[in-house]
Amino acid sequence: MRLSEAMLTAGRGLLPVWLLLFTLVPLLMVLAVSLLTRDETGFITPEVTLENYRRLFDPFYLKVFTDSMAMAGLATLLCLGLAYPFAYLLSRVGLAWRGVLLTLVIVPFWTNSLIRIYAIRSLLAAKGAMNSLLLALGLIDEPVRLLYSGWAVGLGLVYVLLPFMILPLYSSFEKLDRRLIEAAADLYAGRWAIFRHVIVPLTAPGIAAGCLLVFLPALGLFYVTDVLGGSRNLMIGALLKDQFLEARDWPFGSAASLIVIVGLFLLMGVYRWAQRWAGTGAVDDV
């Protein structure tokens, strides 16, 4: 008992140290770098400037941001549309089926997502399986270009990120008290009213968590755009990677990263608000 108490105290003491070392300090470093100037030879020179932030408002970069948001948003909506009915069914089927279906959701995690993206690439390639199928069915006469398009990127994002939408939604549906649905029907609510007034609000924490877990990675998964997208499908993740690894413009990359982080915190705020709104009282369990 004493030992575990001591360890708990030590753990509590270590937590701030941990956060300081691995979260706050790197964040401050990024902030510092974002305010400095790029140097051809040594990455940065200690010359304070807001130029990096100003450059973010360049129409080219603004477009990358808005395009990325739109693409991530679209992928999120698609995931939500696919996952919501699936998660509902998952919570309603018998335990045996539930185990099978949940396993099927999780199985893709056993393979590296980069490999899975390459698999999609081969499916969509000019001489890939999809084109062969469409040709065989006589739906097209010559191979169509499926790869290197916004659609291919969207498909890749949805494919990789769908489980992150399903799992929190499933957990929300599982917690949903069936008696509340009966109570709503008892109080004259039809199917649609029950959905709108009871099911959606009570699964709001799952919706918010799922959207968060899909939207944020969708912004950052640079390899999906690299592998499936064309040169016009530049997204934030790829932009950041390029700044650090290709262009070697650390200050600008840092400024762009910070903007993404600020966006992340805003979304977390939305998530907590949704949880409080649903009245689950479980604001503290993330």
Among 165, 169, 184, 213, binds another protein (CB under 8 A): 184
Among 126, 193, 245, 261, binds another protein (CB under 8 A): 193
Tokens of 134: 């469409």
Q: How far is the CB of 283 from another protein (least distance, A)?
A: 12
For the stretch 245-257, what's the b/e string if a residue is b when 16 or more beta carbons lie within 10 angstroms of its beta carbon? Answer: eeeebbbbbbbbb
Q: How far is the CB of 184 from another protein (least distance, A)?
A: 7
Among 113, 149, 171, 280, binds another protein (CB under 8 A): 280
CA dist 27 and 134 (Å) reads 49
Selection from 272, 153, 165 nearest residue 214 by Cα: 165
Among 93, 190, 245, 270, binds another protein (CB under 8 A): 190
Q: How far is the CB of 185 from another protein (least distance, A)?
A: 4
CA dist 76 and 218 (Å) reads 8
CA dist 19 and 279 (Å) reads 30
Tell me if 284 contacts another protein by CB under 8 A. no
Among 35, 71, 198, 216, binds another protein (CB under 8 A): 198
Give the number of other CB atoms < 10 A from CB of residue 121: 17
Contacts of 75 (CB under 8 A, 6+ apart): 154, 157, 158, 161, 214, 215, 218
Q: Which stretch binds another protein (CB under 8 A): 70-78, 95-103, 125-133, 195-203?
A: 195-203
Tell me if 277 contacts another protein by CB under 8 A. yes
Tell me if 174 contacts another protein by CB under 8 A. no
Q: How far is the CB of 188 from another protein (least distance, A)?
A: 4
Contacts of 11 (CB under 8 A, 6+ apart): none
Binding mask 229-268 toward another protein (x if CB under 8 A, else -) reads ----------------------------------------
Tell me if 183 contacts another protein by CB under 8 A. yes
Place of tokens 């950041």: 240
Task: CB nearer to another protein: give 2 or 179.
Answer: 179
Task: CB nearer to another protein: give 59 or 94.
Answer: 94
Partnered with residue 146 across adjacent β-strands are none
CA dist 215 and 152 (Å) reads 17
Q: How far is the CB of 280 from another protein (least distance, A)?
A: 7
Among 5, 186, 284, 285, binds another protein (CB under 8 A): 186
Torsion over CA: 237, 239, 242, 243 (sign): negative
Give the binding site for another protein (CB under 8 A): 177, 179-180, 182-190, 193, 197-198, 201-202, 204, 277-281
